[in-house]
């Protein structure tokens, strides 16, 4: 069991997640559906300069906190802007090391610290618009799990490069986020080699 596997299945790029969802938040089944809806947004056919790439998402649900899973905790806290010097958990975030087993993963496992936090931030998961925003955040954070890097500056949340499209999943624009071509090229390259990215890209 691995937190993330990338591989090819014919022409498809498969992102296979093993997921453990902390049951202390909300109704466990509802939180499971929410996570699956968010992850489902990653799947699709993407155009690149080398032709279309079809991405499929497969999810295995673990029944306990595990080294071999992406351990997710869903929280509901009023968010505040996180400063670089303040590591408080008040926004959704994914931690480095969630993609693979290793020392960073072991430390989090021993201390029972989840790899991904999803903050509902007071949103109603039954309201379709608000649910869409939450699913967009899930998609964004699992973009980090796949190895994608934010395209905005932490200090002021401005774009690192003006060429970055506002619809880029790594640039927060609400529930209309999407993967961009350079992400998919990298994802396909890793899948061709059957390995997880070593670091964020």
The span from the CA of 125 to the CA of 40, in Å, is 16
Q: What is the pLDDT of residue 30?
A: 93
- Based on C-alpha coordinates, what's the Rg of the chain? 16
What would the pLDDT profile of 27-69 be if each residue is shown by its tens digit? 899 999 999 999 999 999 988 888 889 999 999 999 999 999 9
How large is the average pLDDT for residues 119-124?
A: 90
Q: Which pLDDT does position 23 carry in this prediction?
A: 75
User: What pLDDT, on a 0 to 100 scale, did the predictor assign at position 147?
Assistant: 87
Average pLDDT of 134-151? 88
pTM tops 0.85? yes
Name the β-bridge partners of 12: 9, 54
Task: Report how far residue 103's alpha carbon sits from residue 56's, in angstroms, rounded to the nearest whole number.
Answer: 29
Q: What is the pLDDT of residues 163-201, one digit of tens each?
A: 777 777 666 666 767 777 778 888 999 999 998 887 654
What are residue 131's phi and psi, to 5 degrees? -65, -40
Q: At what angle do helices 28-40 and 128-145 cross, to 10 degrees?
A: 70
pLDDT at position 67, please?
93
CA dist 85 → 18, 53, 150, 153, 162 (Å): 31, 39, 18, 15, 26
Percent of the chain with pLDDT over 70: 86
């Amino acid at each position: 069991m691995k937190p993330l596997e990338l591989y090819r299945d014919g022409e498809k790029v498969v992102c296979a997640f093993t997921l453990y969802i902390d049951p202390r938040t909300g109704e466990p089944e509802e939180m499971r559906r929410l996570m699956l809806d968010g992850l489902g947004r990653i799947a699709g056919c993407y155009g690149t300069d080398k032709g279309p790439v079809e991405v499929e998402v497969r999810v295995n649900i673990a029944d306990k906190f595990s080294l071999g899973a992406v351990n997710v905790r869903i929280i509901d806290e009023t968010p505040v802007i996180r400063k670089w010097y303040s590591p408080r958990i008040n926004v959704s975030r994914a931690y480095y090391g969630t993609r693979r087993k290793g020392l960073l993963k072991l430390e989090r496992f021993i201390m029972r610290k989840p790899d991904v936090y999803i903050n509902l931030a007071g949103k109603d998961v039954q309201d379709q618009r608000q649910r869409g925003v939450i699913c967009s955040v899930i998609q964004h954070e699992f973009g980090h799990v796949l190895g994608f890097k934010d395209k905005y500056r932490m200090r002021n949340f401005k774009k690192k490069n003006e060429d970055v499209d506002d619809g880029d999943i790594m640039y927060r624009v609400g529930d209309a986020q999407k993967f961009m071509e350079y992400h998919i090229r990298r994802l396909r390259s890793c899948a061709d080699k059957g390995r997880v990215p070593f670091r964020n890209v």
